[in-house]
Amino acid sequence: MAKSKSAYSEPTKLGKSDHHIIVVWVDNETGVLARVIGLFSGRGYNIESLAVAEVDKLKHLSRITIVSIGTPEVIEQIKLQLRKLLCVHKVADFNRSDPDILFRELALFKIASSSKNQEKVKKICKKYNSIILDKSKKSFVIQITALRREIDKLITVIKPLGLVSVSRTGAVAMTRGPEAFK
């Protein structure tokens, strides 16, 4: 065993990391996004995706949905640190495998390929609530909504079929049933 005389300790074993969807309700004030995101980058937390928009015009409330990966300790810290911010009203943390939570992400694909391949893509996308938004002779733009991992998989499948551009919103989440998250 090497004998360390360092002024800092060595890293200890890390726990198992897991995907979490963190939803933060914030005052829609100047710099609020930078404040929330800065907390993540400053403390070394991960952001896989980010979706943010104002959800209540009168109260100036925005809802930020962040997909993050971390050990249970890190996820707990993220929540506690977020709750300390003055602009944060509430914080929800959903595990990706929680059956009571709905997750969706919207994606736009631009396909430019032969009509044969175009048809293939349309067929594959059908089960993800697909809508054709634009059409030309050589291309089309299709909108789908699905889970993040479904979109990830879909991209690898349609890539060889003429996928030239992808735009994704990042995941958003909501609880099932009549209750809203408090």
Partner 1 sequence: MPKLLSGAEIVFKALEDQKVEYIFGYPGGAVLPIYDELKNHKTIKHILARHEQGAGHAAEGYARSSGKPGVVLVTSGPGATNVVTALADAYMDSIPLVCISGQVPTHLIGTDAFQECDTTGITRPCTKYNWLVKDVNDLAKVLHTAFEVATSGRPGPVLVDIPKDIQFKKGTYEFKKNKNLKLNGSKKKKISEKELDQFIEMMKKSSKPIFYTGGGVINSGPEASKLLRELVSITGFPITSTLQGLGAFPGSDSNFLGMLGMHGTYEANNAMHDCDLMINIGARFDDRITGKIDEFSPKSKKIHVDIDPSSIGKNVKVDLALVSDVNIFLSNLIKRFKAKNKNFIDINQKNIKNWWQQINKWREKKSLSFINSNKTIKPQYAVQRLYELTKDKETYITTEVGQHQMWAAQHYKFDEPNRWMTSGGLGTMGFGLPAAIGVQIAHPGKLVIDIAGEASVLMTMQEMSTAVQYKLPIKIFILNNEYMGMVRQWQELLHEKNYLESYTAALPDFVKLAEAYGCVGIRATKPSELDEKINEMINTDRPVIFDCMVDKMENCYPMIPSGKAHNQMLLGPEDDKEEISAEGKTLV
Radius of gyration of the chain, Cα coordinates, nearest whole angstrom: 20
For partner 1, the closer of residues 61 and 166 by Cβ is 61
Residue recorded with tokens 């997909």? 67
Spell out a b/e string for 79-95, using b for 16 or more CB atoms within 10 Å of the CB, else e: eebbeebebbeebbbbe
Closest CA to 174 of 11, 21, 56, 48: 21
For partner 1, the closer of residues 17 and 169 by Cβ is 17
Q: Which residue of 5, 16, 137, 182 would you call a contact of partner 1, by CB under 8 A?
A: 5
Tally of residues, the chain? 182
Q: What is the largest CA-CA distance in the chain?
A: 69
Q: Which residue of 16, 31, 100, 179 would you call a contact of partner 1, by CB under 8 A?
A: 31
For partner 1, the closer of residues 31 and 178 by Cβ is 31
- Smallest separation, CB 88 to partner 1 (Å): 8
Count residues near partner 1 (CB under 8 A): 28
Site string for partner 1, 71-110 (x = CB under 8 A): --x--xx--xxxxxxx-x----------------------
Question: How do 88-95 and 139-146 pair as beta strands?
Answer: unpaired
Query: Which residues contribute to the site for partner 1 (CB under 8 A)?
Result: 2-10, 12-13, 30-31, 34-35, 38, 42, 73, 76-77, 80-86, 88
